[in-house]
Copies of this chain bind each other. A is one copy, B any other.
Amino acid sequence: MELKHEVKSSVKDGELIEKRREQIIQGAVRLFKQKGFHRSTTREIAKEAGFSIGTLYEYIRTKEDVLYLVCDTIYDEVQHRLSGIADEEATIEGLKRAIDVYYRLVDDLADEFVVMYQESKSLPKKALEYVLEKERAMTGLFNALLTACAEAGELRITDKSIGLAAHHIVIQGQMWAFRRWELQHMYDLDGYIEFQTDQLLNGLVKPVQG
């Protein structure tokens, strides 16, 4: 199902491609954070990556490829770090741990998240689809865990509400990235996680003995 939208390179050495793309991505993220995708030029990207414009184009075909590489990498990291969630036990505690992992991930990659959400609509159609699919998968992880908790009788939640609750978690996390500067006046990350989690579970947890 990995319909990975391939980015063509004219360089043959796979390891080198890996290394150079790493440089490109790092440079691009630094740049996009400051100026966004459209205001960053390919020359700047090349320079930030540490090589010439010609070399940049040995590893990508178009400027949009850079954006795709950035988005793809972020989701790969996300996927990697969230991979544990799928195996969490279907309990309130498991759910809390999953949310905690996710929020800390957002905090670490806050800049990257902002870049991705603000620029991804500039991706070519096929690449956008692929990225959206990854985003859906992320929501899906929480959806599965919530479903498992509900089935295990840990949550009083209707099937209908599960989907929304999953979105809820995901969005609430992203909010930390997008409004960090405002929110950090009021909360630190731990406080924020605690508040949001309580807030969520207050509505969902089965009272101990109804």
Contact = CB atoms under 8 A, between A and B. Distances in A.
B121 A36 contact: yes
Interface string A186-210: 1100001001001110110000000
A103 to B, nearest CB: 14
Interface residues of A, number: 29
Contacts of A198: 203
A167 interface: yes
A179 B167 contact: yes
Interface string A9-52: 00000000000000000000000000010110000000000000
Contacts of A195: 161, 164
A171 B171 contact: yes
A175 interface: yes
A210 to B, nearest CB: 13
A168 interface: yes
A164 B198 CA distance: 13
| Top 3 closest pairs, chain A to chain B, by CB | A38-B38, A202-B203, A199-B203
